[in-house]
A and B are shown apart, each in its own frame.
Chain A
Amino acid sequence: MGTNDQKRSLPHGLRLVALAGAATLTLTAGLATPLDPAPQQARAADDGKKVLTVAVAQSVDSLSPFLAVRLLSTSIHRLMYEYLTNYDPKDNHAIAGLATKWEPSPDKLTWTYTIRSNSTWSDGEQATAEDAAWTFNKMMTDPGAATANGSYVGNFRKVTAPSPTKLVIELKKPQATMAALDVPIVPKHVWEKVSDFSEFNNDKSFPVVGNGPFVLSGYKADSYVRLKANKSFWRGAPKFDELVFRYYKDQDAAVSALRKGEVSFVAGSPSLTPAQAESLKGADDIQVNDAPGRRFYALATNPGAKAKNGEKFGDGHPSLLDQRVRNALFRAVDREAIIDKVFRGHAVEGEGYIPPRFQDYFWKPSASQKLAYDPAEAARLLDQAGYKKNGDGKRVGKDGKPITYRVLCHATDPNDKAVGKYLQEWWGELGIGVQLNCLDNVTDPWLAGKYDLAFDGWSVNPDPDFVLSIHTCGALPATPKDTGATDNFICDKKYDELYARQLTEYDPAKRADIVKQMESRLYDLGYMNVMAYPNAVEAFRTDQIKSITTMPAKAGNIYGQDGYWSWWSAVPADSGGSSDNASSTGVVVGIVAGVVILGGLGAFAAMRRRATAEERE
């Protein structure tokens, strides 16, 4: 693997493409550098280590499992620490993790977990029930440690470890998620030295002690995350020796790196663009995996941000407090066009809150409930709500001013901008202005409630508890200054009642039924309008990765799974095939563009020469 010639033969074409791309923008010469491959040790180091390199773009928010919520960070925690239970890669049902067995008492209020005795921390110590008990107790007693996963332990009365292999959790009320506690169990002997859990990011001393399939061995913010295989992992050592998440903030650069073999896998952020997928499909030794995603892509409206203490803050448009207005806005969104034009078929039209991939919980509105695309009906709803058009054809708010909504969009997500352009025209027809605020950092205005609408999306777990919990009143921040677990400040009594009921329902079918009612409620409220379920479009090199587990096994994704299956199961290919003509089209394009530009320069030079002919001696 990793012969040098393939590295050397391709950059040239790339540089030309970059030239054509930046198209002689002399000022932006510096921009070509991200496309310019830095000489790096790629996947095969000299000592024959097998390295799996994954191109990522999302920054790590924290490497502390008590703080991290982003997809990349939580995926890394899956690799570093064992959870009590895991999900089966084939069909998502709960299977053994650190716990081998779990059973409730007859009253369903006491759960006893049997902890396996063959899992050791990477510093040699045995992983025991005591570690798990300490982790949960810490989250229950220290608010700083409950930041990320507090919703799991809110209902715990007491957690004890009577013996090293026995963990007992006592509950206040029955809780349905007891076999799906997505909480990384950390080693007590390491973590009890931490003083402030809300500050500690777990990124100072390496390797970080863990018991998952990989051990975190290095991290540099926005540069790389390096993990070494844990050879003594109880389920079996991973086949690759090292796993590196390398940062490519530019997706085109990541795709180029994949073409050259510098990285083995690209997930894209959040996925490859249709054009990229299309072009990679034809490339040698590259396989494109286009799987139904576990994400939803929604348009969230600001319901008037408020804190748990009742204090209101932010400056969401008052008209959005009217459900008719919210529904009207969504009725003017042509979801089919979004699927067809923006995602170009790499997505499924949005219905309920939970993607169809999770069949048990998937809900879709009936024909009469559905807020189908109907601009005429939308206009009627707005008229009915009292937002009539003025002489200029603009709808005016109660304050007499024309309505213009500020739509918060992620500057890093091209889909946001593209859909934003459509919204501008669809809602423009309705007489409503749209101001697209595309920011690199949407968190600040978001948490401050300073937006009207926002593009939103979450990855959904096999157990939907978490994504449901972020819309409850309990998730609101304590005061306007705090940060809550809430997604966009939704607080609805009826929804909360249903949420509490589903959490205590042990019968899967009945629970699923309640979850569907919640989705229905959320749909009607119109605070969370799901436009699409984007596919996970990712690509990997078949000459570096021989096989890799998708989840679910049939038509599943690879990056960001619920579990460590993909990276743990990845089998290295024996030898690196060459990929000489991988970007031949790029080279051709580059050459054509180069010739055009050189021709232009030549003509110019000739012209200059003629112009000064008289003056030359």
Chain B
Amino acid sequence: MGKKQNIRNFCIIAHIDHGKSTLADRLMERTGQVSERDMEEQLLDSMDIERERGITIKLTPVRMFYKAKDGVEYVFNLIDTPGHVDFTYEVSRSLAACEGAILIVDASQGVEAQTLANVYLALENDLEILPVINKIDLPSAQPEVVKQEIEEVIGLDASNAPLISAKEGLNIDDVLEAIVSTFPAPECDDTAPLKALIFDSYYDNYKGVILFVRVKDGTVKAGDKIKTFRSDKVYEVVETGVFAPGLSPKNGLFAGEVGYVAASIKSIQDVAVGDTLINADNPANEPLPGYKKVQSVVFCGIYPLDGSKFNDLKDAILKLQLNDASLIFEPDSSVALGFGFRCGFLGLLHMEIIQERIEREFGLEIITTAPSVSYKVLKTDGEEIFVDNPSHLPPVSEIEHMEEPIVKADIYSPPDYLGQIMDLCREKRGTFLQMTYLDKSRVRLEYHLPLNEIIFDFFDAIKSRTRGYASFDYELIGYETSKLVKLDIMLNGEVCDALSMIVHEDSAYTRGRTLCENLKEAIPRQLFEVPVQAAIGGKIIARETVKAVRKDVLAKCYGGDITRKKKLLEKQKEGKKRMRQVGNVEVPSEVFMQILKTNKD
């Protein structure tokens, strides 16, 4: 075992908005990786959605050269990490590819839930952590208080933490020097059999799947026969390279380096992120630790708004999946919505992002059904099944009992909002675990919450009840028996399958009534009166009525108006295209989504 003395592999972890991407940009700028002139704001976030939302979804590594004060030129490999709980697995993969992590803490906001979650992940991966206090240019900055908080809450020595403003480019050199002095050089062995961690991948139309790897031991170069530890398929390496940023071919990757490997791999499904890349002719006998199979947590149906666009939707989802192995889907059909897909996601944000990408990158309008979780159903015949689609739930008579997924939630908030948070958690069937005062101004609340209660509007609710001060993080911990029922919505006496949902018995009545009220507002008046009913197992629990339309006429229609009136009618007709037929009731496609989102508070 030796050390690559002049390589530093690290990542940056931070809460959303604490300035991760901005610092990354500054580091690149300072090391001359990108000239100031070419600098596009937040270079690493390459997707539009990432830039707009200020979040990182895809990992984007970059290699930099830094000539330190000791006169040595160092190679820095920065691996960007997604900042959201949904992408914890990605984060842990990229952490595993590093020796160090820069922890950015906002000088005015202090430590947040996600920061902490990621710090724990980094510590689990034995990373050296370098705290950096950002945004010291803000008038509300309290660097000393934040330093103390870091020491008390995380237990890190923050006395030498660089105080910077990434936005203003202040004290960036301190960070660069601290990277050299704080983070260890990678320990590795060039002569051992190849072992490289695959920490991300994406599909390139020309080169096939591009694997992002951290070589732990050995070397990999073009012409090598490679395979992954968990698959038997053998590929021949076509190209290796580094991130400059962007793919930059380099002949061979050596132990300690971060780079990419292209080997004409056809499908992203063939090579799992987290798996270990080995040499097929000289295979290592142990994989690198930490591989997990990713599991979908949230499910929903995705249908084309215009029923005839099913094939376009299929293409879009297939293309997205090329770059996102965690997106799973299967064809699905609904009486109300026609043909579509049932998709599984890592979490709510992941779901939203996929929906947005379909609409934006493929120009498709889609309808999504209510997000659902995967329920465990124990049938009377002893069979155990998982159901994430309410319409696949077996009849009540065949169900012995049902279990729902439970998460452990950490909520960080100023103490002023404790009451509101506890109320919310109680409404959401939460079980209080404990409360810890981190300092005078911050409290950590721990709860067990059913996942199906937080997939609707928990994020929004907690933000609005705490004026945005609280932060929230969760992890799945298992299943618990629960009194769950299937809530059906009937329009003019016919069940609308796309609106069915599985809910807890206690909230079924309220949910049903709210749904009926919302639907009454959202469904346009028809030629006849439409009863809107919520039912559980055939028993009506709520009812509203959409009154029949009484005036729908273009009063005047003279010579000059004919063209205009014709256009108005055409428009009305056009609008009908966006309608879905439920029995003889016409329901605008948008209703299916609006309804599920506006879960009145």
- A and B are partners in one complex rather than unrelated chains: no
B-side residues, CB < 8 A to A, are none
A-side residues, CB < 8 A to B, are none
